[in-house]
């Protein structure tokens, strides 16, 4: 038998006192000896913590108790004087033994226990003891199934009566035992087939309505727990819905929320309703993105939807199939070494180049500073040599597009009413055109009438109508440009040459007009208690009262009909068909509530996070609820104080052109929607927020984060080139390559011009180390572009530190590695449907051209002996606060991965920590303790790891900037704005000066400028946080997790103790069950301590044991 092997060891001379007791317990032949041993064990275990019980379990305590149970139960009739203490102690020990069910099966004690319960159905005290043991046995699903096959469900269910005041302890034990039995899905299906769901609902309703004194709340909680287990199968959930369970639970929550002492029932009931809410597929024709793009060498997928485009479309009539979706955003293609993190040789070994050396000659052109002769320094001329790349800035790019028939003017959307204080006439710009000429007063008045916001969606000026002034000219004439480094004319011209899949012909007003950073940081939003519960209950009301739901589609990208129709007079108007925009569908649910569905990344059915859309037709001071219902991530910073951003055209034209954080009652939680294909493992989450607009009939834009478009970058680069002094700053914009859609991917070179054409000056220039900066490989990480904007503007500025940096380094900057994704409003992928930051190992020149050529350029720099001193890829992080770096270190990787390699003698250059340490001192938003230098095998294909391993760059980083804000430093509790992001970009550049202290001693000017950094340390300390995720949300995001209940150990212990020290006489006497408070019951248990077991052992003997 199972327990025979324990006896020799327990009886051995070296056995401990506990082992001797357990061995004696199995062999004790008389009642008094067994009671004494049980008394000692109970006192011993009750006096300590769970650690003592776990020690007893490790010494075979569970097996000994099971053997004692079997020996005692074999007697006819059983000796309940012994059996009850054994059952009580077995229940207390068993629920802490994870394998108690398996052990009971092997000992053949399971059915014996069920037989004992059958024999004692009319004895409440004995039945309760049997039920507790059955409950702990059911920790094993196989044990629960075995009991169910032997009619255990029927026996236990019959023990649960309607509302009563008798034998409350036994009723509670029966409900808990039933819940434990329902851990088995086989038992769940059996329970459904026998109508137990209906019975449990009726029992809950009866106990809830008749418990007027609120004395039996634990019974009601236990019934909810039982229903939770019963609905772990789809048939169980369907049965609960069919039996009116959601209506009952909803009514219960409405009562309990406003009744003192019953709040503890609300959360379990809400979670159960969320769990059983019928699943609903999104109202889409396909899960695939509305936009598709034909890929070279890829077969076409005929079932994917192809939208009707506006105007001149750059698209194909069929979708391309994407077979390379990652499992999640951090998953890699599986082309990596499994032992990368733990094997020293794998970490140190440099992989072979992925292309022959002969192919690198094409990148010579990307180092113009090495070949430029600087003739202008000799002639004193300020003009610079022209190049093909320069011609792109001056209009040749637009001419090329005009020759191909692709250039189209862009109408402008989104103007609001002009304030009367600024002009006597009220008008609203509705389009951007490049026409010339003048208008008569009558024509101008007619145009102004057409520019009203309320008619914005139905009337637009023609692009090239003769005799009309340009909309850009009229806007600038009336309001004037006021954004540094931004020119609306340049933006409109750049946007006209941008190639999109849908052929966007409309500009979003915020991108066209510009953005001024908010004055002062904005605080994180304060989460109101139970806000998620309120939103979930509103969602459940949709199911209960469908007649109150409008359910009207007010915007749909797949519908070619005009979405700005005047038919929707009582609805908001939505629009997203502009650069960087993302909103697939908008459905009006209630008068002031809208469900919004995001578009998937091009050529995929996934990656729903980024949103950017226009909304108009609102009423002022009315709260509108927006629900984005197809988010994919399991948690979001929106649960921790983050807000979306809003841009008001009315505010902009009144002199406040800025994105601001907005929204109240923000929460993020799992919903009942699923993809149209109904994949079993797929689920969606809702981001809900409420916006109260300031102005009637305004035109506003809402976005996940501060948008930054490809056209903004192109216009910004032109402004920067115009702003620098060509005699001092060497600034070149070149085309790294063209993207899949044919958009140029710019590469910027910035350094200081030599002071003269002398050999010494040119030698110093051409031997400056390179710093390579990249950004926006993930289109939805717009914060990375704002950080890059700060770096670019600082490097082109007249700041002494910027001048020192230009004299010390040559900067090679690729500010947007994924232009196509940015343009088309994707979140993670390029047009190929792949995450470009997972393609660096073996980039495909056809499908990932920007990565292929960026890596080729780095190979080229390495081949000519100019390996970059620093490489940094700017990113955004959706799960953490602050700004921090990921780097690469052999030692730290071996430490964190638990490798057996001895690192004490391993030598490694610690220079990879220099920049993070400097940033922690000078950058307010930076957190050194959030940095990590682990080289994970799952990140083996990212830019940081590939550049470190293959190119040999010691300081290869990913810089992550939060979407939310900071929880340390002077920005603690504040959300990051564009000013703070741009500051971070400048600070990163400033930190590079610390790398040149030892190599530029001859340049006193650099050293003096570096002292500016040393003299102004920040008074802040980074927090120590190495985890990616925030603490658990204050409200449950998921609803499949177990319902909140009392701690099973303490709750069961207190019930067992009360049953142990009560007699049959007390049970009859206490017909009102548990009317006494828990504290009174505990005191009563203490008073009755050792009532059953006489104190035969002295305290010192217990201590010795």
547 is catalytic: no
Pair 717, 334: CB distance under 8 Å: no
For every residue of 411-445, DSSP letters joined together read EEE---PPPTTT-SS---------------HHHHH
Predicted confidence at residue 477, as pLDDT, reads: 74
Residues lower than pLDDT 70 in the chain: 1-16, 28-29, 48, 299-339, 341-343, 378-472, 475, 480-481, 560-568, 678-681, 997-1029, 1040-1050, 1061-1105
Coil, strand or helix: which one is 821? Answer: helix
First to last CA, the chain: 28
Over the stretch 554-575, which tens digit does the pLDDT of each residue have?
999 988 664 445 456 789 999 9
Q: Locate tokens 């102690």: which residue?
A: 89
pTM: 0.84
Neighbouring CB atoms inside 10 A of 345's CB total: 9
Of the candidates 43, 960, 980, 1055, the residue annotated as catalytic is: 960
375-434 pLDDT, tens digit per residue, is 777 654 444 444 443 333 333 433 333 333 333 344 455 444 433 333 322 333 333 433
For the chain, how long is the longest CA-to-CA vector? 118
Core vs surface per residue 509-548: b (16+ CB within 10 A) or e: bbbbbbbbbbeebbebbebeebbbbebbbebbebbeeeee
Strands, DSSP E only, in 617-738?
623-631, 645-648, 659-661, 664-670, 673-674, 685-692, 699-703, 729-738
Take residue 490 and report the two structure tokens written for it.
Answer: 């340049």
* Dihedral pair phi/psi, residue 458, rounded to 5°: -115, -15
How far is it, in rounded angstroms, from Cα 918 to Cα 916?
A: 5
Residue 751 and residue 730: Cα distance in Å, rounded? 5
Query: Which residues touch 799 (CB under 8 Å, ≥6 apart)?
Result: none
pLDDT recorded at residue 54: 87
Angle value at C-alpha 1009, between 1004 and 1011, nearest 5 degrees: 100
pLDDT of residue 484: 79
pLDDT tens digits, one per residue of 725-736? 999 999 999 999
Can you give the length of the chain in residues?
Answer: 1105
- What's residue 184's pLDDT? 95
Write down the pLDDT at residue 862: 96
Q: Provide DSSP, 227-294.
A: HHHHTSSHHHHHHHHHTTHHHHHHHHHHHHTTSTT-GGGHHHHHHHHHHHSPPEE-S-S-SS-S---P
Omega before 77 within 30 of 0, i.e. cis:
yes
Task: Give the span between the Cα atoms of 621 and 538, in whole angstroms.
Answer: 21
Pick from 361, 366, 363, 369: which is nearest to 385 by CA? 369
Task: Look at strands 955-962 and 612-616 and give their pairing.
Answer: unpaired
- Using alpha carbons only, how large is the chain's radius of gyration in Å? 36
The predicted-structure confidence for 658-711, as pLDDT tens digits, reads as follows 999 999 999 999 999 999 876 656 899 999 999 999 999 999 999 999 999 999
């Amino acid at each position: 038998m199972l327990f025979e092997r324990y006896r020799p060891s327990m009886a051995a001379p070296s056995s401990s006192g506990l082992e001797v007791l357990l061995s004696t317990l199995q062999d004790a032949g008389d009642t008094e000896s067994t009671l004494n041993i049980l008394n000692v064990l109970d006192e011993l275990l009750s006096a300590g913590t769970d650690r003592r019980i776990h020690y007893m379990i490790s010494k075979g305590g569970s097996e000994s108790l099971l053997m004692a149970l079997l020996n005692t139960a074999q007697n006819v009739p059983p000796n309940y004087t012994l059996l009850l203490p054994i059952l009580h102690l077995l229940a207390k020990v068993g629920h802490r033994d994870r394998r108690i069910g398996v052990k009971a099966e092997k000992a053949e004690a399971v059915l014996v226990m069920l037989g004992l319960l059958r024999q004692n159905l009319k004895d409440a005290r004995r039945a309760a003891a049997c039920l507790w043991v059955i409950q702990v046995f059911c920790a094993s699903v196989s044990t629960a199934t075995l009991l169910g096959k032997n009619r255990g469900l029927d026996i236990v269910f019959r023990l649960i009566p309607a509302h009563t005041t008798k034998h409350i302890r036994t009723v509670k034990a029966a409900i808990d035992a039933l819940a434990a039995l329902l851990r088995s899905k086989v038992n769940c299906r059996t329970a459904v087939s026998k109508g137990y769901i209906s019975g449990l609902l009726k029992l809950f309703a009866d106990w809830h309505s008749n418990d007027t004194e609120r004395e039996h709340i634990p019974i009601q909680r236990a019934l909810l727990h039982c229903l939770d287990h019963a609905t772990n199968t789809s048939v169980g959930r369907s049965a609960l819905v069919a039996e009116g369970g959601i209506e009952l639970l909803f009514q219960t929550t409405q009562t309990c929320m406003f009744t003192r002492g019953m709040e503890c029932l609300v959360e379990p009931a809400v979670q159960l309703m969320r769990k059983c809410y019928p699943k609903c597929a999104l109202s889409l024709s396909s899960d695939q993105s509305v936009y598709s793009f034909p890929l070279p060498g890829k077969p076409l997928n005929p079932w994917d939807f192809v939208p009707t485009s506006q105007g001149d479309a750059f698209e194909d009539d069929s979708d391309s199939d994407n077979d390379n979706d990652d499992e999640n955003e951090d998953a890699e293609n599986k082309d990596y070494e499994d032992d990368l993190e733990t094997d020293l040789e794998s970490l140190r070994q440099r992989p072979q180049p992925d292309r022959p050396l002969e192919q690198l000659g094409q990148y010579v052109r990307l180092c113009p500073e090495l070949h430029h002769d600087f003739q202008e320094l000799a002639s004193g001329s300020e003009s610079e040599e022209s190049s093909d790349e320069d011609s792109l800035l001056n209009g040749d790019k637009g001419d090329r597009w005009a020759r191909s028939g692709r250039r189209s003017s862009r109408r402008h959307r989104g103007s609001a009413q002009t304030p009367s204080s600024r002009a006597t006439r009220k008008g609203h710009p509705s389009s951007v055109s490049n026409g010339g000429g003048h208008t008569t007063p009558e024509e101008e008045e007619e145009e102004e009438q057409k520019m009203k916001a309320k008619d914005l969606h139905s009337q637009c000026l023609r692009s090239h109508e003769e005799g009309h002034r340009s909309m850009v000219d009229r806007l600038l004439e009336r309001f004037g440009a006021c954004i540094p480094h931004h020119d609306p004319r340049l933006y409109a011209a750049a946007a006209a040459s941008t190639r999109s899949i849908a052929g966007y012909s409309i500009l979003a007003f915020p991108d066209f007009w510009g953005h001024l950073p908010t004055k002062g940081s904005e605080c994180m939003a304060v989460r109101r208690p139970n806000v998620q519960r309120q939103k979930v209950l509103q969602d459940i009301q949709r199911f209960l009262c469908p007649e109150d739901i409008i359910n009207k589609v007010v915007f749909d990208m797949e519908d070619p009909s005009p979405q700005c129709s005047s038919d929707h007079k009582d609805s908001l108007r939505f629009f997203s068909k502009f650069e960087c925009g993302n909103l697939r569908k908008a459905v009006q649910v209630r008068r002031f509530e809208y469900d919004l569905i995001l578009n998937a990344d091009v050529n995929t059915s996934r990656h729903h996070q980024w949103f950017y859309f226009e909304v108009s037709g609102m009423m002022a001071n009315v709260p509108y609820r927006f629900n984005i219902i197809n988010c994919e991530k399991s948690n979001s910073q929106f649960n921790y104080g983050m807000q979306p951003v809003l841009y008001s055209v009315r505010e902009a034209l009144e002199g406040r052109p800025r994105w601001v954080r907005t929204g109240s009652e923000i929460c993020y939680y799992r919903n009942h929607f699923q993809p149209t294909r109904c994949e079993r493992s797929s689920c969606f989450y809702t981001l809900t927020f409420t916006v109260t607009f300031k102005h009637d009939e305004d035109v506003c834009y809402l976005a996940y984060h501060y948008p930054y478009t490809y056209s903004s970058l192109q216009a910004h680069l032109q402004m920067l080139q115009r702003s620098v002094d060509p005699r001092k700053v060497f600034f070149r914009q070149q085309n790294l390559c063209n993207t899949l859609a044919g958009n140029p991917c710019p590469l910027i070179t910035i350094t200081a011009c030599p002071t003269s054409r002398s050999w010494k000056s040119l030698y110093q220039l051409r031997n400056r180390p390179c710093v390579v900066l990249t950004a926006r490989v993930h289109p939805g990480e717009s914060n990375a572009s704002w950080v890059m904007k700060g770096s670019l503007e600082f490097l082109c500025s007249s700041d002494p530190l910027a001048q020192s940096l230009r004299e010390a380094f040559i900067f090679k900057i690729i500010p947007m590695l994924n232009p196509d994704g940015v343009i088309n409003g994707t979140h993670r992928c390029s047009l190929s449907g792949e995450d470009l930051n997972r393609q660096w190992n073996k980039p495909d020149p056809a499908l990932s051209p920007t990565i292929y050529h960026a890596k080729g350029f780095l190979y080229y720099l390495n081949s000519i002996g100019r390996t970059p001193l620093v490489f940094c890829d700017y990113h955004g992080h959706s799960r953490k606060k602050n700004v921090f770096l990921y780097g690469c270190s052999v030692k730290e990787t071996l430490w964190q991965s638990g490798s057996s390699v001895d690192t004490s003698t391993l030598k490694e250059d610690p220079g990879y920590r220099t920049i993070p340490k400097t940033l922690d001192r000078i950058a307010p938003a930076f957190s050194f303790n959030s940095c990590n230098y682990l080289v994970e095998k799952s990140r083996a294909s990212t830019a940081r790891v590939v550049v470190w391993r293959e190119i040999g760059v010691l300081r290869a980083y990913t810089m992550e900037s939060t979407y939310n804000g900071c929880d340390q430093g002077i920005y603690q509790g504040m959300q990051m704005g564009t000013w703070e992001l741009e500051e971070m970009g400048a600070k990163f550049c400033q930190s590079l000066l610390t790398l040149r202290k030892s190599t530029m001693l001859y340049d006193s000017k650099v050293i003096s400028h570096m002292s500016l950094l040393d003299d102004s340390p920040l008074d802040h300390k980074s927090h120590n946080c190495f985890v990616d995720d925030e603490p658990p949300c204050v409200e449950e995001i998921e609803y499949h997790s177990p319902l909140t209940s009392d701690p099973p150990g303490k709750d069961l212990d207190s019930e067992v103790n009360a049953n142990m020290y009560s007699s049959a006489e007390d049970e009859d006497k206490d017909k009102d069950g548990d009317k006494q408070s828990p504290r009174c019951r505990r005191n009563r248990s203490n008073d009755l301590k050792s009532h059953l077991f006489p104190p035969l052992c002295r305290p010192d003997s217990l201590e010795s044991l």
